[in-house]
Amino acid sequence: MDNTYIIREAVPDDAENMILYLNQVGGESDNLLHGENEFLVPIEGVKRKLAMSKDSENSIVLIALENEQIIARAELEGYYPARIHHRAKFSISVRKDHWNQGIGTEMIKRIFEQAKKINIRIIELEVITDNAGAIALYHKMGFIDIGIYKNYFYVNGTFKDAIVMQKIL
């Protein structure tokens, strides 16, 4: 693998690039919350979200860039209430032409490093039960299954279950 990409925190100026990326990856699998060109948040909304994440004490959005293009995105979204402030929801996506090149693993390692810095102790996620590649990656990175979320997704006329996972740092 040639490490020609960089990983850094996303900033509001990345909004336009982020929208293009999300609309592309949405069409590359049925495993994300939106399909191709279904990410319809206006650029100002994405800028606001990235600014809020950057200013947050318990959230972060990381992007991997290659030739100025986003090739992967990982987000840790911390909870606000005091009693669950130590927890965060995790999501990640990688552009299909960069699958199985170690980028997801590297992004998750960086997320773990950042999580420890911002006092996140539990990272949680949901993954569609038939997304074998992601499930294998999460297990490799130390996530454990804690339950099944029935009918989590509705894709192409079919309900799909998700595995709920967590990683305790």
- 1 inside domain: no
Average pLDDT over residues 30-48: 88
- 52 inside domain: yes
- 162 inside domain: yes
What does each C-alpha distance from 8 to 18, 36, 66, 75, 81 come to in angstroms? Answer: 13, 25, 11, 12, 27
Per-residue pLDDT tens digits for 9-37: 999 999 999 999 999 999 999 888 888 88
What pLDDT does 3 receive? 62
Number of folded domains that form the chain: 1
- 19 inside domain: yes
- 81 inside domain: yes
- 142 inside domain: yes
What pLDDT does 2 receive? 53
Q: Where in the sequence is the domain holding 83, given as residue range(s)?
A: 6-168
Tokens of 95: 């552009």
The domain that holds 106 is classified in CATH as 3.40.630.30
